[in-house]
Structure 1
Amino acid sequence: MISRVLLVDDDAHVREALGQTLALNDLVPTLAASFIEAKDHISAGFLGVILSDIRMPGKDGFHLLEYTQNIDPDLPVILLTGEGDVPMAVRGISAGAFDFIEKPCAPQDLVLAVQKALRTRSLVLENRRLKQQLEKGDAAERMLFGQSKPADELRNRVRIVAATNADVLIAGVTGSGTSKVAEVIHLLSNLAMSTFDKIAASELSVEALEGALAQAKDGSLFIDGIASMPPATQFALLQHMEQGTGARILAGTYKDLSEYVEHGRFNEELFFRLDVMRVRIPSLRERPEDIPVLFRNYVLLACEQAALPVPEITPEVIARLMAQEWPGNARALMNAAMRFAMGFAEVEVADDLGLAEQLSRVERSLLTEALRKYKGNASEVARVLKLPRKTLYDKLTRHGIRAEVYR
């Protein structure tokens, strides 16, 4: 968590005393005696909070609050008030101050108030980072989350496939996101400005297929769960693909189609037509280090859609996430994130993993979280986790984690 505090007070004795209190509690104070001194330290990306006296010569704490609000309205400002100045402090709260503390105050009260503000600031900055990540890059970068090697490989494969005009088979276990991958392929292709439609293959009639193909026209048609498509409809789809005109087919499957072909349940020619370009989506079991990344993004998206404040995602929550098997994959994780965002449920710990595997996943989570926070700086990660550098590198190697991915 960030720990910087910009402390502004014109009384040198008070300033030094409060600064020492903050420093003794592992906080990093920057001392300023006036508005003029303080404003040079304030920016939209300030990694900390502001603790300011209200009554100061020249421009007072209210001026500082107004200045801060104009630069970054989410930057927490805690106002220090003297006895009898509570009405003035309430005015500050109405103007956007995060909190106020009456002087003299107990050191523990001061520290608790500052720590609360710092947690809020950390959350705001993390959410901004996530939003920037969602807005940058191409559709693969914005929509297919993850920092693991399998996630990188998936995005690269999707880009390659999207650049062709070939029909595509998208294979993944239940809940892995075949529909999302299909949408990204469409958005990255030269058909992006055309229609993207979805249909379910189960009990799909020939007439319904023909209607869907006509609606998709020269765009892309995603057929979900193609293994369950009736034989007559399979044949009709094959005929469409043999013509080489009309909608591009993106077919999703949760089953091994080669086994279906072997047992006569899926048209062999159709299978080979689809299997020219294949995209395989890795399960969460194959990339558990992406669980915190996915969860954060899902929570952020859910809160944006519902216009809710983003709740704090503590290390304990991440540890619980990592200790689960997630047989429902990304869909199950998304559902958990939505419930968490709405405040309906805490993340529960499943008992389907042994203790050794749970501990291994928690360790992996702590490592990846630290690497993400310190942008892949192994020296900082070793310092924060209190590990010798060799031990850290041994652990990264054992878990298959690459520090450079986070830089």
Structure 2
Amino acid sequence: MLNSVIVVDDEASIRTAVEQWLSLSGFSVQLFARAEDCLAQLPAHFAGVIISDVRMPGMGGLQLLERLQVDDPDLPVILLTGHGDVPMAVEAMRNGAYDFLEKPFTPQHLLGSLRRALEKRQLVLENRRLHEQADLKTRLETTLLGMSQGLQQLRRQVLDLASLPVNVLIRGETGSGKERVARCLHDFGPRADKPFVALNCAAIPESLFEAELFGHESGAFTGAQGKRIGKLEYANGGTVFLDEIESMPLAQQAKLLRVIQEQKLERLGANQSISVDLRIIAATKPDLLEEARAGRFREDLAYRLNVAELRLAPLRERREDIPLLFEHFARAAAEKLGRVAPPLSSTQLAQLLSHDWPGNVRELANAAERHALGLGSPNIEVAPAGQSLGDQMEAFEAQCLRAALRQHGGEIKAVMEALQLPRRTLNEKMQRHGLVREDFLP
């Protein structure tokens, strides 16, 4: 239950009395003698109630109400009035005030009104939270595309981890979208307005690695002209994404470990430590603990990085996502050129679903762009090793069902007619493929 209350009144005796009543009842109370001071110190998204006198020197309670309503129309404001101000207070309630109390008022009257206002505030904030979660979920669904169970689970994990102050290790094959997932962890969390710095550890020469990460002072080494801020310092307050972390030299692993542990770093050639606030997201294809056992990676750093782990399934393990992704990439490529992407034939769709996609999403995007440009069918193998005919048929059936559901906006009767399936058979197939009608409603 919320218990934060702000009291604004120019009379010290009333402020003191109200504070005593409310504090004894378990409320957290903050006092102001002037409305201007209340506005200046009011925290963003204040999760409580404001009690204000109507008549005060300078800004009065009605002006304060008007100002508060601009930023948050749902913030409850209880007005304290003299006898002659009652008609004015009633008008204020029509304009958004929650309640008014005529002086002198009893503690019971004040507590009753305050508790009702706090209950309303709690419902409003909870409703906002649910709407924000729904908006985030919708935005994430358009960023991490896919209907497979694996992708749905990944989106849930990303939303859960985005708001937590923990380092994350992303495991996945080349081209599976590790940087995109890292970016979502940043964009959907509290650091979204701070820098997101991505580094590919395999692409930085070992001789330049330390200067790239930690920066340097002028003259720290031959050719170091002027001071340079490193990537870690630049990302202060935000997120650092270290792709192919297994390629980081052992000497730099030790220094990165110290930064994670102490939240401090030193530029090359400097003696002064610089405090940094960083979230580290690392990505790797191999198992870091196996790399540590082979002597190629520090075990203590592996544990520090792997507070939470996300595994990205390769495209061959989520074939039902292939048509949706292909359509997205083809449409985006065509729109850039002012074209309309040509439709896929059933033969081409079968090819897409049967290919093994060793390059994962990156390879699929390339094939979709070629298709959108009219450069012919994707250069792919039709029958990958290890995939049975039954698996290919299941993937094709799931795609046909999904396409029909999307085309008809989830209308089951229209889907039955289009696919010429009885209701029971359609229900069984939808259940087997994890398809839910509500996901396709307009």
CA gap 1:306/1:226 in 2 versus in 1, 3 angstroms: farther
- Tell me if structure 1 keeps the 8 A contact 2:341–2:371: no
- Tell me if structure 2 keeps the 8 A contact 1:147–1:405: no
Give runs of aligned pairs for residues 353-368 of structure 1, distance below 5 A: 353-368=387-402
- Is 1:225 aligned with 2:244? yes
Distance 2:317 2:308 in 1: 22
Give runs of aligned pairs for residues 86-165 of structure 1, distance below 5 A: 139-165=139-165
Shift of 1:206: 2.2
Aligned to 2:211: 207
Distance 1:338 1:368 in 2: 23
Amino acid at match of 2:165: N
Shift of 1:137: 6.0
Shift of 1:364: 2.3
| SS of aligned partner of 2:383 | coil
Aligned to 2:408: 374
Give the number of the structure whose alpha-carbon radius of gyration is greater.
2
Distance 2:178 2:397 in 1: 30
| SS of aligned partner of 1:165 | coil
Give runs of aligned pairs for residues 3-402 of structure 1, distance below 5 A: 139-202=139-202, 203-204=205-206, 205-210=209-214, 211-244=230-263, 245-347=276-378, 348-352=380-384, 353-402=387-436
Shift of 1:226: 0.9
Distance 2:370 2:376 in 1: 6
Distance 2:293 2:437 in 1: 44
CA gap 1:139/1:201 in 2 versus in 1, 3 angstroms: farther
CA gap 1:225/1:325 in 2 versus in 1, 3 angstroms: same
- Tell me if structure 1 keeps the 8 A contact 2:331–2:340: no
Amino acid at match of 2:212: A
**Number of aligned residue pairs:** 273
Shift of 1:386: 1.3
Q: Give structure 2 stretches of 5+ with no counterpart.
A: 1-134, 215-229, 264-275
Distance 1:372 1:249 in 2: 39
Amino acid at match of 1:373: Q
Shift of 1:215: 2.6
Percent sequence identity is 36
Shift of 1:242: 0.8
CA gap 1:372/1:154 in 2 versus in 1, 3 angstroms: same
Distance 1:337 1:263 in 2: 40
Distance 1:139 1:401 in 2: 20
Amino acid at match of 2:146: G
CA gap 1:175/1:146 in 2 versus in 1, 3 angstroms: same
Q: TM-score, structure 2 length as denominator?
A: 0.57
Residues 370-389 of structure 1 deviation map (CA, whole Å, 9 limit, x = unaligned): 22222333333232111223
Residues 231-279 of structure 1 deviation map (CA, whole Å, 9 limit, x = unaligned): 1121111111112333321111111222212222221111111111222
Amino acid at match of 1:394: E
Aligned to 2:4: none
Distance 2:422 2:138 in 1: 39
Distance 1:136 1:370 in 2: 27
Q: TM-score, structure 1 length as denominator?
A: 0.62
- Tell me if structure 2 keeps the 8 A contact 1:150–1:282: yes
